[in-house]
Chains A and B, each alone.
Chain A
Amino acid sequence: GQQLNQSPQSMFIQEGEDVSMNCTSSSIFNTWLWYKQDPGEGPVLLIALYKAGELTSNGRLTAQFGITRKDSFLNISASIPSDVGIYFCAGPRLAGNMLTFGGGTRLMVKP
């Protein structure tokens, strides 16, 4: 089935540094979603990508939908302590509205 491989699994960075994480698949996705999950809460949508090659920003966050439709990356610039959390990529299955999630990237920011 469709699987999303997310890397890195975790990152420990200094406040102010830029962060990059990515998501790849052996299958084509028509939509790529990036969510952030804080401890004990549900995921919150950060960015949605709908077109191959699309580059979208949301404040300090930038995400791109790969041309091959098989990958996406998320960048966070000038990280701050509240960026701490788990970041998930997700994409809808070919049939139905169900989402497949990547394994997540756990981000830790040292003040």
Chain B
Amino acid sequence: GAVVSQHPSWVICKSGTSVKIECRSLDFQATTMFWYRQFPKQSLMLMATSNEGSKATYEQGVEKDKFLINHASLTLSTLTVTSAHPEDSSFYICSARDPRQGSNQPQHFGDGTRLSIL
């Protein structure tokens, strides 16, 4: 079945550091991937839609200069949290839909990246 892989699974770094998170579709090509953020004991909130070969579409309230998204190939999207601060600490999850499964098929999620900013 469709598999989405995320790396790294856990990051701890100092405030002010920029952190890059990778999301890969392992056995299918994804022209669109999605990035979510999940705070403790809360639901998943969509941050942005990553579009291969074009600019990402950000949800209202999400700073595009803070959360840089690059979707340079059909199997890889990256999210870079620039100059991260403690309030950026969260669980970041990506997802993608396998286009071979039809337009109405659900998204497959990566295992998430736990980001902790000290």
Chain A residues with a Cβ under 8 A of chain B: 31, 33, 35, 40-45, 48, 50, 88, 90, 96-104, 106
Closest A residue to B96 using CB positions: A97
Cα separation A90 to B38 with both chains bound (whole Å): 15
State how many residues of chain B have any CB contact under 8 Å with chain A: 25
Q: In the complex, how many residue pairs between chain A and chain B have their CB atoms under 8 Å apart?
A: 52
Decide yes or no: A99 and B108 within 8 Å by CB, A40-B114, A42-B6, A42-B93 being known contacts: no
Residues of B within 8 A of A44 (CB): 109
A–B Cβ pairs within 8 angstroms, 13 of them: A33-B106, A40-B114, A41-B112, A42-B6, A42-B93, A42-B112, A43-B109, A48-B105, A90-B106, A97-B107, A101-B43, A101-B45, A104-B42
Residues of chain B touching chain A, judged by Cβ–Cβ distance below 8 Å, are 4, 6, 32, 34, 41-46, 49, 91, 93, 95, 97, 104-112, 114
Tell me whether A103 and B43 are in contact (CB under 8 A).
yes
Chain A residues near B106 (CB-CB < 8 A): 31, 33, 45, 48, 90
User: When chains A and B are docked, how far (Å) is the Cα of A68 from the Cα of B2?
Assistant: 31
Contact check: which of A40, A50, A97, A101 meets B44 at CB < 8 Å? A101
